[in-house]
Structure 1
Amino acid sequence: MTPKLGEVLLVDDYDADNFMHEMLFDEMGVSERVTVATNGKEAIEYLTTPKNGQYPRPELILLDINMPIMNGWDFLKAYQSLDDNARGDVVLMMVTTSLNPDDREAARSNPDINDFVTKALSEDSLNNLLRKHFPNRF
């Protein structure tokens, strides 16, 4: 049996994508828990709020770019200022519908972004991403 990811954090304001991605993770059985934040501010608050004395530790964050309140780029600025306890050891993927080449280049040049992919994820694309970023587990 493949070891599952403990937690995946979806940061996206679009309910249909969140629903589909939650279903995909559930159907594939690759994570114990999927948490949803509908904007970057909500995600930062989640990551910096200890529960039972510990910060949440998602292993994978799927981040959209275009969101209200705090978009993906603003989330990254705030995320980079977090201390190591709140940041954890995470694979951060930008998952977006943006076709803007400037977004792709900005993601490529950001050391915190591990990948830039077009949504919505499919079983094949998620399998490929998991094998790429968690090679010893998938």
Structure 2
Amino acid sequence: MKPLDRILLVDDDAVTNMMHRRVIERSGRVLTVDVATDGQEALDILRSDLAAERCLPELIFLDINMPGMGGFEFLEHYAQLDLQSDVQLIIVMLSTFLLRSDHDRAEADPNVYGFCDKPLKLEKLLEIVSDFQNRRYAKRPAA
């Protein structure tokens, strides 16, 4: 299958970003990996892409807990972006420990595809990329 063009990692931890970038690059399933260290930087990247009429990342791995703008605040602002209805983008929430309240809150957001424990494992990445490429999902997998 053709690799994804871009993934955006959004995490405030440099070591985590380095590890996740390595997993993604070794998978051979993604051409470009961009990194943002908080939600605001991620929004700035997306807004810049929209303004320049560049393709958006096809997949965003979003940490829940970050200083500055965290994952949930990012989702609130993301929902306000002027995205075309044909944009296919997956947001996967990342966390080392997911509280039930965080899970419920993320699950209620129509822009969240799913959840992934940190650190990102190759098998999980390949599953998500395959789901994206096969278009086997709407907004999130059926329960």
TM-score, length-scaled by structure 2: 0.86
CA 96–41 in structure 1, closer or farther in 2 if over 3 Å, else same: same
Q: How large is the RMSD of aligned CA atoms in angstroms?
A: 2.1
Q: Secondary structure at the match of 1:61?
A: strand
CA 94–51 in structure 1, closer or farther in 2 if over 3 Å, else same: closer
Residue identity over aligned pairs, in percent, reads 34
Report the CA distance between 1:56 and its aligned residue: 4.6
CA 103–3 in structure 1, closer or farther in 2 if over 3 Å, else same: same
CA 53–115 in structure 1, closer or farther in 2 if over 3 Å, else same: same
Report the CA distance between 1:12 and its aligned residue: 0.4
Give structure 1 stretches of 5+ with no counterpart.
none
- Other-structure match for 1:25: 24
Report the CA distance between 1:100 and its aligned residue: 0.6
Q: Secondary structure at the match of 1:9?
A: strand
| Count of aligned pairs | 135
- Other-structure match for 2:77: 78
Q: Contact (CA 8 Å) 1:95, 1:118: kept in 2 or not?
A: yes
Equivalent residue letter for 1:33:
T
- Other-structure match for 1:135: 134
Report the CA distance between 1:129 and its aligned residue: 2.1
- Other-structure match for 2:48: 49
Report the CA distance between 1:130 and its aligned residue: 2.1
- In 1, Cα distance between equivalents of 2:42 and 2:48: 10
1:86-116 CA distances to partner (integer Å, 9 max, x unpaired)?
x942111001113311111111111000011
Give structure 2 stretches of 5+ with no counterpart.
136-143
Report the CA distance between 1:36 and its aligned residue: 0.1
Equivalent residue letter for 2:26:
E
Report the CA distance between 1:57 and its aligned residue: 0.8
- In 2, Cα distance between equivalents of 1:41 and 1:47: 10
Q: Contact (CA 8 Å) 1:6, 1:33: kept in 2 or not?
A: yes
Q: Contact (CA 8 Å) 1:62, 1:95: kept in 2 or not?
A: yes
Q: Secondary structure at the match of 1:21?
A: helix
1:107-127 CA distances to partner (integer Å, 9 max, x unpaired)?
111100001111111111212
- In 2, Cα distance between equivalents of 1:90 and 1:50: 14
1:31-72 CA distances to partner (integer Å, 9 max, x unpaired)?
110000000000001110148831451000000011111000
Equivalent residue letter for 1:84:
L
Alignment of 1:1-138 (within 5 A): 2-50=1-49, 53-85=52-84, 88-135=87-134
- In 2, Cα distance between equivalents of 1:48 and 1:56: 11
- In 1, Cα distance between equivalents of 2:49 and 2:115: 29
